[in-house]
Amino acid sequence: MGYAPLFFKLGPQTRFVIIGGGHIAFSKSETLIALGAQLQVVGKTILPELKVFVEGVGGSVIEADYAPDYLKIATIVIAATDDAALNETIYRDAKAQGKFVNVVDTPDLCDFIFPATIKRGDIQVAISSAGISPSLARAIKRKIEYLLPWNIDALGQWIKEKRDVVKKNLKGIQARRLFWDEVLDGGIAQEVVEGNNAKAETLFAQALSEAPAASRAALYLVGAGPGHPDYITVRGTQLLGQADVVLYDRLIAPDLLERYARREATKIAVGKSADHHIKTQDAIAELIETHLRKNKIVVRLKGGDPGIYAHAAEEMDIARKLGVPYQIVPGITAALGCAAASGFPLTERNGASAVRLLTYYDETLYSDDFWKSLQLSRDETLVFYMTTRKRNTLIEKLLSIGYKPTTPAVIIEQGTTPNHAEYEATLGTFIEIYGDTNFITPTLLVIGDVVRWRATHSWREPAAVREDWFAKNTKEVADVT
């Protein structure tokens, strides 16, 4: 069971009734009064300072034993006594009267919980740990407090004053959204926060006169990294927040869209695996073109780096032919991320002086030129993408062209994710040990002397559970808005 993050509108008829007169009730009273709530406190024994506080802000205090009738005027009931049996009685009575109720420190008897809050005028930030740890919620609150200017509400009021003039000058929703993004991320907002209103007005007028009034299309190929949700770049998150449409791969960290994409953006799963394509590459190209023609900002969100085995040239060509601006935003490719998470370098002094990023298809098995090229790379690090199912054939081929059986090799499964796992051997022993193992995709095969550093430099603990992290956490649903 979860909690929906909602902000409850308080009006003149909204009344909170707190049952209890001790320190817990006092704490809840302070919280509610800060929000502008109408308050009544009922308790057989009420702290004098609580009585003075509540009455001093226009609330009422009733010193009496609890009775269900006291709940009749309540919109919301809070049970804050130190008697567990009485709190449960209050909960049952409140529910019988159709009231929302919170029993302090008893999540099972709560319709809602109070978050840790940051309030700057009309600007509020609420943090919840779903009742698991109020201390954790408060710790997160402190971190956010450091980030927010004390007078951030001044910026909110300034925006409120400017909304109509922006709406009058910029007719399209996308145009207004992008304009406000630029204002808030740039110097204008900072001038408002600093109290330099005249300068802010000048900059605002100039920015508004120069802002495109119509919607505009753009294509951004954004690398999301190999799986760890924090490995996307700052630039990637910025563009994801601008997108009207996000076409995302299967191997995308599950909460990236929730973190950085706009709720209103159209999100379309276009991921592929060896046995299942939600969308073919032709269908993806058609989607990109369709949305660009509608003057949408399209983010093609790719696992790893968009320039590594990711059809980047084909997709950029669509934007080029339409005359639409496009960019590549690099990401941490799997070779870099997985090796780092496994604790070994891809090159080393007096060892591997180069890295080859490779994949191969069935026809490659019969290409003499391909295998001849690898004969010259026995002192390099080889990183094979998308070849796990043919690993036995690959290893046999490498041994046949002169690779030493003692050459270290490791398969990294679901690299950088919570289910990151490593399977190390040598070329001479790998098939014997792992020949029949069904690895969970995505996997990466790394071959070379650098793998030996993993034994002494690994810093990750093994995953507690071996499961498909992406399948568990990602909904493969097409056209989710």
Active site members = 249, 272
Angstrom distance (rounded) from CA 41 to CA 235: 51
Q: Using CA of residue 444, residue 450, residue 454, residue 458, what is the dihedral sign?
A: negative
Q: Using CA of residue 255, residue 259, residue 261, residue 263, what is the dihedral sign?
A: positive
